[in-house]
């Protein structure tokens, strides 16, 4: 039986699943003009559109997309994980919501050390890998404080999708297959992602998630207390007690989102607005742009080895600082000077125009003892016709997070504890190393690379962008900014450009082969070590860069982007 992935919206059932640009002929509805949405899943994008049609704004649309992604793309994000939200309100106000997960009270610095060795297996799967989830509270805050529709209505809609089921895309089936061995260690997870023969669920089959639908329904009925101070947290504590975990109901009770000031930097005539720590994204995107300001990147051919070299060198310096300085500002002193123009100038001087530099260690930004920040993933962006713009990056960390579903809830729990530095110098799942600033501590939030970003020209929002892909999130976001702001490419063109990434350690550029052999050979001659391949990540962006409104999902992967053009 060929069941559609979900009930199509009446006027959109002809839409295709890749990049989609509406033309004025299909945008008769005035209230929809100026709307742009990009997510990694057509059902989530449709849910966002429906929220706008129901009278919601961009904040409602993004909450609808977020809760739906937890159903149809649950291996990447969901209410068992965390998120960062960067937003710009129609009145010009900029705000963030930090819905990052936190370590439970019983967590401690050496909790992943056994016989003197750091055990990444423990920080990556199972009970100890799980940090207290924050997404649900962040979405609820976004909706209640800034949206127009009830949070309940968004939960009810997403619950229906979970209950009615959706057709499993090939990408989803591949992720299940790739993680199936570990998923099978957790019966509640295995039950949901197995077919009737006990194998991994196949592409094209219908995935119904009754438990998740019920969880969404209960939250819709009883509020988020059902999750943070009720049956969900109680069930989690019971499961933890039986499975070697340390998380308690009180850890959920104590969970709170925070509203840190965004990191803002100027880049040429633009203002780039990002997420402050415990995201490293906002800080290092700003820092790298500040360094690159000294090289007139806009005048350098983006297909030349020089372009790749200069950006790589700036990335290397920033990632060395990340490993040393960055952590949750609630317990680490993250210097504000990391984003100062003065510090960027001193770093820029270290870059040789033609030779790969040796970055032995981190730098020392000004005020590093006095002035501090206050304290497999998905990105989606949304704007509305009132002038509200949102950038949200959400995650449960690696695919299927800890692989744990607390029985009866349908919620995939994150493995965000692996984003702490579990021991100095021990690489996490992304090969990132860290230091004391990002050591495990109770109630602390693990460092993240998630970089939801909004760009303003004057006071006008012109771009909302972010990505998935661990530390490459920072590079992907940065490259999109450079290609669009410096080189005037459309968002679509920018997302198609070859991606490259350097995170200081390991000392190599990860580069897409589309960069071309001659660029790769030149980089080798300059002394760079090259790794060709790896995944290029997934960037979603919307924007109005002077050539009309655009919404684009990453051309490397599935997704759906919709624009309802502004009409004069």
Instruction: By CB under 6 A, name the one of 211, 328, 384, 419 that touches ligand GLY.
Output: 419
Three-state DSSP at 221 gives: helix
The interface with ligand GLY within residues 465-494 (CB under 6 A) comprises 470
Cα(400)–Cα(413) distance, rounded to whole angstroms?
A: 8
Sheet containing 538-544, strands listed edge to edge, beginning at the edge strand earlier in sequence: 263-267, 270-274, 453-457, 460-468, 538-544, 549-552
The interface with ligand GLY within residues 281-320 (CB under 6 A) comprises none
Q: How far is the CB of 401 from ligand GLY (least distance, A)?
A: 9
Cα(455)–Cα(458) distance, rounded to whole angstroms?
A: 10
Secondary structure element (H or E) that encloses residue 250, with its range:
helix 249-254
- Given the rule CB under 6 A, which of 89-97, 129-137, 445-453, 505-513 is the region that contacts ligand GLY? 445-453
Residue with tokens 């390991």, as numbered in its chain:
506
Q: How far is the CB of 449 from ligand GLY (least distance, A)?
A: 4
Among residues 84 and 227, whose Cβ is nearest to ligand GLY?
Answer: 84
- Given the rule CB under 6 A, which of 226-234, 251-259, 448-456, 537-545 is the region that contacts ligand GLY? 448-456
Residue with tokens 């990540």, as numbered in its chain:
537
Q: How far is the CB of 82 from ligand GLY (least distance, A)?
A: 8
Q: Cβ(210)–Cβ(410) under 8 Å?
A: yes
Residue with tokens 């929220």, as numbered in its chain:
51
Among residues 111 and 467, whose Cβ is nearest to ligand GLY?
Answer: 467
Q: Cβ(502)–Cβ(508) under 8 Å?
A: yes
Find the catalytic residue in 377, 378, 398, 480: 377
Two tokens, residue 238: 């019971």
Rg of the chain on CA atoms, in Å: 22
- Given the rule CB under 6 A, which of 120-128, 148-156, 323-331, 447-455 is the region that contacts ligand GLY? 447-455
The separation between the first and the last C-alpha atoms of the chain, rounded to the nearest angstrom, is 46
φ, ψ of residue 558 to 5 degrees: the values are -70, 170
Among residues 263 and 563, whose Cβ is nearest to ligand GLY?
Answer: 263
Three-state DSSP at 33 gives: coil
> Of 454, 446, 408, 453, nearest to 428 (Cα)?
446
Cα(305)–Cα(293) distance, rounded to whole angstroms?
A: 18
Residue with tokens 């805050």, as numbered in its chain:
141
Q: Cβ(393)–Cβ(43) under 8 Å?
A: no
Instruction: By CB under 6 A, name the one of 77, 233, 395, 480 that touches ligand GLY.
Output: 395
Q: How far is the CB of 471 from ligand GLY (least distance, A)?
A: 7
Asked whether position 328 contacts ligand GLY by CB under 6 A, the answer is no
Q: How far is the CB of 284 from ligand GLY (least distance, A)?
A: 12
Among residues 132 and 220, whose Cβ is nearest to ligand GLY?
Answer: 132
Cα(346)–Cα(344) distance, rounded to whole angstroms?
A: 5
Alpha-carbon torsion, ordered 560, 561, 564, 566, to 10 deg: 180
Q: How many Cβ atoms sit within 10 Å of the Cβ of residue 162?
A: 26
Among residues 6 and 377, whose Cβ is nearest to ligand GLY?
Answer: 377
The residue whose Cβ lies closest to ligand GLY is 448
Cα(395)–Cα(392) distance, rounded to whole angstroms?
A: 10
Q: How far from 40 is each of 191, 330, 391, 555, CA to CA, in Å?
A: 25, 32, 14, 10
Two tokens, residue 204: 């094209």
- HSE (CB half, 13 Å, CA atoms) of 361? 7
Three-state DSSP at 140 gives: helix
Instruction: Report the relative pairing of strands 530-532 and 509-511 from DSSP bridges.
Output: parallel
> Is 377 assigned a catalytic role?
yes
Among residues 395 and 544, whose Cβ is nearest to ligand GLY?
Answer: 395
Two tokens, residue 133: 């989830």
Instruction: By CB under 6 A, name the one of 291, 394, 450, 485 that touches ligand GLY.
Output: 450
Among residues 383 and 449, whose Cβ is nearest to ligand GLY?
Answer: 449
Q: How far is the CB of 475 from ligand GLY (least distance, A)?
A: 12
Q: How far is the CB of 27 from ligand GLY (least distance, A)?
A: 36
Q: How far is the CB of 538 from ligand GLY (least distance, A)?
A: 13
Among residues 100 and 324, whose Cβ is nearest to ligand GLY?
Answer: 100
Asked whether position 273 contacts ligand GLY by CB under 6 A, the answer is no
Asked whether position 438 contacts ligand GLY by CB under 6 A, the answer is no
Q: How far is the CB of 280 from ligand GLY (least distance, A)?
A: 8
Q: How many Cβ atoms sit within 10 Å of the Cβ of residue 12?
A: 18
Asked whether position 449 contacts ligand GLY by CB under 6 A, the answer is yes
Total of chain residues touching ligand GLY, rule CB under 6 A: 8
- Given the rule CB under 6 A, which of 255-263, 350-358, 382-390, 444-452 is the region that contacts ligand GLY? 444-452
Convert residues 364-383 into a mask of x (bound to ligand GLY by CB under 6 A) and - (unbound). -------------x------
Q: How far is the CB of 470 from ligand GLY (least distance, A)?
A: 5
Convert residues 397-416 into a mask of x (bound to ligand GLY by CB under 6 A) and - (unbound). x-------------------
Among residues 223 and 534, whose Cβ is nearest to ligand GLY?
Answer: 534
Among residues 200 and 470, whose Cβ is nearest to ligand GLY?
Answer: 470
Asked whether position 448 contacts ligand GLY by CB under 6 A, the answer is yes
b (16+ CB within 10 A) / e for 203-227: eeeebebebbbbbbbbbbeeebebb
Two tokens, residue 163: 């209950």
- Given the rule CB under 6 A, which of 101-109, 197-205, 442-450, 524-532 is the region that contacts ligand GLY? 442-450
Q: Which residues bind ligand GLY (CB under 6 A)?
A: 377, 395, 397, 419, 448-450, 470
Active site residues: 377
């Amino acid at each position: 039986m060929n069941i559609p992935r979900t009930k199509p919206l009446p006027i959109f059932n002809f839409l295709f699943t890749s990049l989609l640009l509406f033309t004025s002929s299909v945008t008769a509805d005035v209230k929809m003009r100026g709307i742009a949405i990009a997510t990694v899943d057509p059902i989530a994008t449709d849910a966002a559109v429906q929220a706008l049609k129901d009278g919601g704004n961009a904040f409602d649309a993004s909450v609808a997309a977020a809760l739906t992604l937890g159903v149809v793309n649950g291996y990447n994000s969901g209410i068992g994980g965390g998120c960062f939200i960067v937003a710009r309100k129609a009145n010009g106000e900029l705000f963030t919501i930090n819905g990052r997960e936190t370590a439970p009270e019983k967590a401690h610095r050496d909790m992943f050390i056994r016989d003197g060795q750091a055990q990444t297996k423990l920080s990556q799967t199972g009970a100890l890998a799980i940090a207290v989830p924050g997404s649900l509270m962040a979405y609820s805050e976004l909706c209640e404080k800034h949206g127009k529709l009830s949070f309940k209505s968004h939960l009810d809609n997403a619950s229906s999708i979970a209950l009615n089921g959706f057709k499993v895309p090939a990408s989803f089936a591949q992720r299940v297959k790739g993680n199936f061995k570990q998923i099978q260690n957790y019966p509640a997870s295995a039950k949901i992602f197995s077919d009737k023969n006990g194998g991994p669920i196949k592409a094209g089959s219908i995935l119904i998630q009754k438990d998740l639908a019920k969880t969404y329904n209960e939250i819709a009925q009883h509020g988020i207390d059902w999750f943070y101070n009720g049956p969900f947290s109680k069930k989690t504590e019971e499961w933890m007690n039986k499975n070697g975990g340390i998380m308690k109901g009180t850890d959920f009770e104590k969970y709170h989102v925070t509203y840190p000031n965004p990191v803002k930097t100027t880049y040429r005539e633009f203002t780039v607005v990002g997420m402050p720590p415990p995201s490293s994204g906002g800080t290092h995107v700003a820092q790298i742009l500040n360094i690159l300001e000294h090289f007139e990147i806009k005048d350098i051919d983006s297909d030349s080895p020089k372009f790749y070299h200069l950006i790589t060198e700036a990335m290397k310096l920033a990632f060395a600082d990340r490993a040393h300085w960055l952590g949750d500002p609630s317990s680490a002193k993250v210097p504000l000077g990391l984003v100062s123009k003065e510090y960027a100038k001193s770093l820029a001087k270290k870059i040789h125009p033609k030779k790969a530099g040796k970055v032995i260690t981190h730098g020392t930004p000004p005020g590093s003892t006095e002035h501090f920040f206050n304290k497999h993933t998905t990105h989606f962006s949304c704007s509305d016709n009132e002038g509200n713009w949102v950038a949200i990056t959400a995650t449960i960390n690696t695919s299927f997070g800890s692989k744990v579903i607390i029985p009866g809830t349908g919620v995939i729990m994150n493995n965000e504890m692996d984003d702490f530095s579990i021991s100095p110098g021990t690489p996490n799942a992304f090969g990132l190393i860290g230091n004391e600033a990002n050591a495990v501590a109770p109630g602390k939030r693990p460092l993240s690379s998630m970089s939801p970003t909004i760009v303003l020209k004057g006071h006008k929002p012109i771009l909302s962008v972010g990505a998935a892909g661990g530390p490459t999130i920072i590079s992907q976001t940065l490259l999109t900014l450079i290609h669009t702001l410096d080189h005037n490419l459309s968002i679509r063109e920018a997302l198609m450009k070859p991606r490259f990434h350097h995170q200081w350690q390991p000392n190599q550029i990860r580069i897409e082969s589309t960069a071309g052999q001659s660029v790769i050979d030149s980089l080798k001659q300059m002394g760079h070590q090259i790794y060709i391949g790896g995944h290029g990540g997934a960037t979603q962006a919307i924007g109005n860069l002077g050539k009309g409104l655009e919404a684009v999902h990453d051309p490397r992967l599935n997704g759906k982007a919709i624009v309802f053009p502004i009409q004069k």
